[in-house]
Amino acid sequence: EEDAQLNKESWSVVKTLRGHIEDVYDICWTRDGNFMVSGSVDNTAIMWDVNKGQKLCIFNDHKSYVQGVAWDPLGQYVATLSCDRAMRVYSTHTKKKAFCISKMSSSSLAEGEAKQYRMFHDDSMRSFFRRLSFTPDGSFLLA
């Protein structure tokens, strides 16, 4: 009984961030821990100022769940990935969409033909979770 008490974790609420109207599926912090982005079943991603407990921006371009979010290491971009089969990248400065990608192509084929690559599996994929991650130097975004 005494050992069980010693092994219990103690948690205390420091700040509550309210903004999503459905469950949150993914979060990502900036390197300095001052800002965060969250992705939700409500089809939105929210950029937060954690210290102030305030929403900086709501990204609501997705047409389905936002399942993955990532903040680039330099703090210039936020990326979101959704069940709508699109990955969007937003500028953290302008709060506007910089890129939207739903198909990838490679021009490495002969005669300039581009081969299309599927970025998303079909509905038979057993995993619900999809995550994004920038490389440590921010030069690549893996989905």
Architecture of domain 18-135: 7 Propeller (2.130)
Instruction: For residue 103, give every residue at least 6 positions away whose Cβ sits within 8 Å of its Cβ, in sequence order, or none.
Output: 116, 117, 118, 119
Q: In whole angstroms, what is the distance from residue 41 CA to residue 62 CA? A: 10
Distances (CA, A) of 7 to 11, 12, 14: 13, 16, 22
Give the pLDDT of residue 59: 97
pLDDT tens for the chain, 143 residues long, are: 677 777 778 888 889 999 999 999 999 999 999 999 999 999 999 999 999 999 999 999 999 999 999 999 999 999 999 988 889 999 999 999 998 887 655 555 555 555 555 555 555 555 555 688 999 998 888 87
- Check residue 19 and give its pLDDT: 95
Residue 11: predicted pLDDT: 86
Write the CB contacts of 16 (distance below 8 Å, at least 6 apart in sequence): 53
- What pTM, to 2 d.p., does this model score? 0.78
pLDDT of the residue at 83: 85
